[in-house]
Each structure stands twice: as C-alpha cells, then as structure tokens.
Amino acid sequence: MPDATTFACPDLTTFTRLDDLGLEATGQLLKPDRAVLKCRVVDPDDWCRRCGCQGVARDTVVRRLAHEPFGWRPTTLLVTVRRYRCSECGHVWRQDTTAAAEPRAKISRGGLAWALVGIVVQHLSMARVAEGLGVAWHTANDAVLAEGHRLLIDDPARLDGVEVLGVDEHCWRHTRRGDKFITVIIDLTPVRDGTGPARLLDMVEGRSKKAFKTWLDEREQTWRDGVQVVAMDGFSGFKTATTEELPEAVSVMDPFYADVPVMPMSWVSVLVGDVRRMVRSA
C-alpha cells in the first residue's frame, strides 16, 4: 500500500486508470469539450496462438473506445493495436485488448463501470451518461444493460443472503408516447450490516407494480421468506407489490415516505440505519 502522504509523479496512465485496462497513455489531445488519449497495449502478445512461435509485427490498427469522463469532459481512447504474423505458420492476429473492453465494444471497461455507478448510485439518466461518455444514447443504453447483465450472470450467488432489498425506479428515456422506466433492484444487506456497499441485483424494464411483482414472483419462496426489509423509492406500486409478495417484510416507507415523496437512493444508508433501530426496539 502506498503511503497516503507520499506523492508519486503525475502520470496520465494511472490517473485515467488505463493501467487497469492493460493500456498506457502515449499522447493527449485536449479540447474544451472533449479529451482524446492516444494509448498503446502494454502486453506485446507476440506469441502465435496456433503454434507458439514468435510473430513478426506487421502493422497496426486503431481501436476507438469511449472512456470514463474526467471533469465531465468526454474522454476517448485511440488504442494502437499491433498486428502480428507468425513466422512459422503464417497465422495473423492482433494484440489482445479484452482487458480494455469486450470484443467489438465501443466503450471501455472503465467507461462502463463509470456509467453503471452513475445510473445506480448517482441517479444519472441514460441521456446524461451517454453525454458523459460522448456516445449515442443507444450505444450507451445497449452497453450498460449488457454490462449489468454480464456482471449479474457472472455471479450466480448474488441472491444469497439477501435480507434488505432496495428498489429504485429510473426514468430511462423520454419518448413522445411517455417516459420509459427501468426498475433497479439492489441488495442493501451489506449496507445495513456495515460490511460493504450495496450490490446491484437486477435491472428490469418498467416502473409498474408488475415489474417488481414479476421479479419477486420469479424468486423461490424460501428466498422471499429471507427478505426482512424493502427500501423503495417514490412509487406506490412497489409498496403494493411488496405487501402481496412479501407480507412478512417490514415496509420502510413511513414515516419518511409521507413527507418525502421521492427519496433519493443516497439516503438509503441513513434510512436503513433508522429501520434497524426501529426493528431492534420493536
């Protein structure tokens, strides 16, 4: 662990977290409204995947990735990727960039992580996230939903031990025929227990009572029985769904809810603390 009082040399690569992506910054182009970082892939990756012989660098291609914004300035990565040709078998390949982004993705892993935190924790709209990344709305929407699901699918045990559920609705997009909503379901158990941050459990389309009710319906009865508290945002449909599906759970909307129709999710830790005291003294 570096000493908190020891300053390292200023370094664009670590400052923009490119080292986590297996990249190194080699140049910067700063404009008032955007930044472009030229990077290279650190690992040479020059051994043939077919026969194991060393390849010869042939040429380079540039991969363009939207990265997390710094100071709200959209930051684009132009990654120079080497192409090699095997001197033995003639196989041609390019440097592996999967640490930086999913294959064919247009947004870096850092950019996606920023987007997910922005939506789930900071309550940013998808339009704001797309603006921060400097990409089209659909590009951001598809990538963020896919990343959310990739993280969820990679963790089959995510539903284990959930006792405190958080349900939060997000206006996903304004359309001519009305707004589209996404319901975000998070595990607040670690927050209540003081063991860690909230965990994203699921994202389901819609804001209606049906969206959350359907999600609860899909869970095992034993799992539903384990849920003690449901914290939620300002939509009465959620409360009805909870009462029907989880009659034993404590509804935590009152007394806060009566006075605060829309409760920001950032208040949840405070609220959960209050509920804990409430439950203890009951």
Stretch that binds Zn ion, among 27-35, 59-67, 88-96, 142-150 (CB under 5 A): 88-96
CB of 47 to Zn ion, least distance (A): 9
CB of 92 to Zn ion, least distance (A): 10
Rule CB under 5 A: choose which of 30, 51, 61, 278 binds Zn ion. Answer: 51
DSSP secondary structure string, 208-219?
SHHHHHHHHHTS
Count of other CB atoms within 10 angstroms of residue 23: 27
- Asked if 92 touches Zn ion (CB under 5 A), the answer is no
Rule CB under 5 A: choose which of 30, 57, 89, 136 binds Zn ion. Answer: 89
DSSP secondary structure string, 32-89?
SS-EEEEEEESS---B-TTT-PBEEEEEEEEEEEEEEEETTEEEEEEEEEEEEEETTT
Q: How far apart are CA 114 and CA 43, in angstroms?
A: 25
CB of 93 to Zn ion, least distance (A): 9
Closest CA to 170 of 158, 179, 183: 183
- Asked if 162 touches Zn ion (CB under 5 A), the answer is no
Closer to Zn ion by Cβ: residue 56 or 270: 56
CB of 10 to Zn ion, least distance (A): 41
- Asked if 49 touches Zn ion (CB under 5 A), the answer is no
- Asked if 56 touches Zn ion (CB under 5 A), the answer is no
Q: CA dist 255 to 9, 236, 251, 275, Å?
A: 51, 14, 10, 10
- Asked if 164 touches Zn ion (CB under 5 A), the answer is no
Residue partners of 256: CB distance under 8 A and separation at least 6:
263, 267, 271, 274
- Asked if 88 touches Zn ion (CB under 5 A), the answer is yes
- Asked if 231 touches Zn ion (CB under 5 A), the answer is no
- Asked if 54 touches Zn ion (CB under 5 A), the answer is no
The helix/strand/coil state of 163 is: coil
Rule CB under 5 A: choose which of 91, 123, 158, 276 binds Zn ion. Answer: 91
Task: Kindly report whether the peptide bond that precedes residue 255 is cis, defined as omega within 30 degrees of 0.
Answer: yes
Residues forming the site for Zn ion (CB under 5 A): 48, 50-51, 53, 86, 88-89, 91
